Chains A and B, each alone.
Chain A
Amino acid sequence: MALLEVHDLRLSFGGLKVLHDISFSVEKGAINSLIGPNGAGKTSLFNCLTGFYKPKAGSIRLGGRPITGLPPHRITALGLARTFQNIRLFKEMTVLENAMSGQHCRSRHGIVSAILHLPSQRREEEAIRAVGMRWLDFVGIAEHAHRHAGGLSYGDQRRLELARALASTPALILLDEPAAGLNEREKLDLVHLIRRIRDETGVTVLLIEHDMGLVMQVSEKIVVFDYGQKIADGAPEVVRADPRVIEAYLGTED
């Protein structure tokens, strides 16, 4: 059984069909990519998977459990985390506080135990802090823990988004254009980091990316979208040779 199974997913806004009967799956422990020209519906698909959009039809299963139509926070709690295409950090808060946000759904102490300063509440706070630090260290920005997130360099902000998502201890992480705006060196670091996420933590990765070099380098399977439809699905070399993919990217000859 695949970790993520999407079956006949359909999404429309009013009369506009955004996704037509999309089906694909992501195996546990894989690094897969979604590619396609701008406006092909990739981010819309991410928004369906994470509960921000309600699909019109079809089903999404995570580890065999249906998650179709659940609210975003429930989906995150079930083990699916995401990053955003345009970085969405809590810029006014510290880097560590950002990373700690991922642990919210894994902890339980509320207002009353915070007022009473219960020992179990203090211990939980320390654990949340430690997990946040662990992931900051994993992505390599631990020394900035007490700075404001908004003051980080662009590349470090991208890393922080990753750390925050990883801090929710997901089974699957969705990365929406993680290489956007990065220079060549930072892209290489990102490839390395994406591999480490899978190899060292066992988290499955699904990414949307425009940088073909990066996609071909890192993915084991690629799903190609065009006009809200899936036009190809397979290993990088297979997809690269697919005439429909070439047509979608380069146009037809006539």
Chain B
Amino acid sequence: MSDEARILPVPVQPRLMRWSFVLPGLAALACALVLPQLANAYVTEVATTALLYVVLCLGLNIVVGYAGLLDLGYAAFFAVGAYTSGILTAEFGFNFWLTIPVAMVAACAAGVIIGAPTLRLRSDYLAIVTLGFGEIVRIIARNLDITGGASGLIGIERPEIFGFKLMQVQHFYYAFLVLALITAFVCLSVERSRMGRAWFYVRYDEDAAAGIGINRVSAKLQAYMMGAVIASVAGCLYAAKMTAISPESFTFNQSLLILLGVVLGGMGRIPGVVLGAILVALLPEVLRGAGTYRPLVTAVALLAIMLFRPNGLWPDKRV
């Protein structure tokens, strides 16, 4: 059997998006675009929150879903972004758009400081360290003067784009929609690249990955930093929308909610994570009628999902 004579099968380059996703995707996008025109301010507000969670969950999905690292302090990077942008605009008069790259650099630095020593650890230890990190960031924000202490930071500048000032709920809805779309595109691009595959190799079998030539610490650190950068950008826009931020926006509960969105929808896969994020934002609103029974109803719903769809509502078919 001679190899030379045979024609190699043509390697198929995966498309960025499968056709079966394009039409429903476009329909969803069309709905998202017209929503603020049809809905009242309350619905738009909730939808904006949902888009914020989409961005945060997509970011955390890189860490948890792709690289398989359990991060219990993800809100810390969200806080780093929000406070960096808030302090620079409110205290130093920076242009909002200039604060985004600064926040990204700050989140990267925070990611390296916390990640470099701890990403050598196996996942259980990492969860504890990230949990601690989340609390440390919140407590620092509570106690520094520049962050406004426990009462927080007020008077954050509203961003302007081409002379147009983002003011109303609708404006921020569209801003978050653009950010969510960019984030999804970025995640999709990286997921199907050399580094994205490396994260999956490390997630599925760390030793085999190392044996085949992947620097596992570097791969994990890059996932951690990329997650941090996405959260920080979401933080910048969040600060601009709220115009006031306080340490209580970045509690352990916040980290848990983001993680819940990732796990609920089906980690590792973008459509599942988007669905999970939307559910996390909508659930408290939908269950408002349940009054004091809300935590109970939420818990039962989550238990049911874990029992009947253990890999999430819209799971990765790889698993």
The chain A residues found within 8 Å of chain B, CB to CB, are: 50-52, 71-73, 76-77, 81-82, 84, 88-93, 96-97, 100-102, 104-105, 107, 109-111, 114-115, 117, 121, 124-126, 128-130, 132-134, 137-138, 142-143, 145-146, 148, 164-165, 168, 200
Contact = CB atoms under 8 A, between A and B. Distances in A.
Given A115-B189, A124-B194, A93 B318 contact: yes
Given A96-B11, A111-B195, A125-B13, A90 B204 contact: yes
Interface string B186-203: 100110111111101100
24 contacts: A52-B207, A73-B210, A81-B212, A81-B213, A82-B211, A84-B208, A89-B208, A90-B201, A92-B204, A93-B200, A93-B204, A93-B318, A97-B200, A101-B198, A101-B209, A102-B212, A104-B214, A110-B222, A115-B189, A128-B194, A138-B3, A142-B9, A145-B9, A145-B11
Nearest to A121: B193
A114 B8 contact: no
B194 A109 contact: yes
Count chain A CB atoms within 10 A of each CB in B12, B198, B318 and give the residue with the most.
B318
B18 interface: no
Contacts of B165: none
Count chain A CB atoms within 10 A of each CB in B11, B198, B207 and give the residue with the most.
B11
Contacts of B12: 146
Nearest to B186: A115
A137 B195 contact: no
A111 B204 contact: no
B211 A72 contact: yes
B226 interface: yes
Contacts of B201: 90, 93, 101, 104
A125 B194 contact: yes
Interface of B: 3, 6, 8-9, 11-13, 186, 189-190, 192-198, 200-201, 204-205, 207-216, 222, 226, 318-319
Query: At the interface, is chain A mostly helix, strand, loop or mixed?
Result: helix
A221 B171 CA distance: 75
Given A71-B210, A92-B319, 18 more contacts: A50-B211, A71-B215, A73-B210, A73-B214, A89-B208, A90-B201, A92-B204, A93-B204, A101-B198, A101-B214, A111-B195, A114-B194, A117-B189, A126-B13, A137-B8, A146-B12, A168-B212, A168-B213
A89 B313 CA distance: 27
A51 B207 CA distance: 11
B205 A90 contact: yes
Contacts of A146: 12
A76 B204 contact: no
In the A-B complex, the 10 residue pairs with the smallest Cβ-Cβ separation, listed nearest first, are A105-B213, A114-B193, A76-B213, A88-B208, A129-B11, A72-B210, A92-B318, A90-B204, A73-B215, A133-B11
A18 B9 CA distance: 46
A91 B204 CA distance: 8
Query: At the interface, is chain B mostly helix, strand, loop or mixed?
Result: helix
Given A130-B11, A132-B11, A143-B9, A165 B195 contact: no
Contacts of A148: 318
A165 to B, nearest CB: 7
A111 B8 contact: no
A84 B215 CA distance: 18
Nearest to B6: A137
Contact of A110 (B8, B9, B195, B205): B195
Count chain B CB atoms within 10 A of each CB in A50, A88, A142, A148 and give the residue with the most.
A88
A104 B198 contact: yes
Count chain B CB atoms within 10 A of each CB in A52, A96, A111, A138 and give the residue with the most.
A111
Contacts of A84: 208, 211
Given A52-B207, A146-B12, A102 B213 contact: yes
A67 to B, nearest CB: 13
A128 B14 CA distance: 13
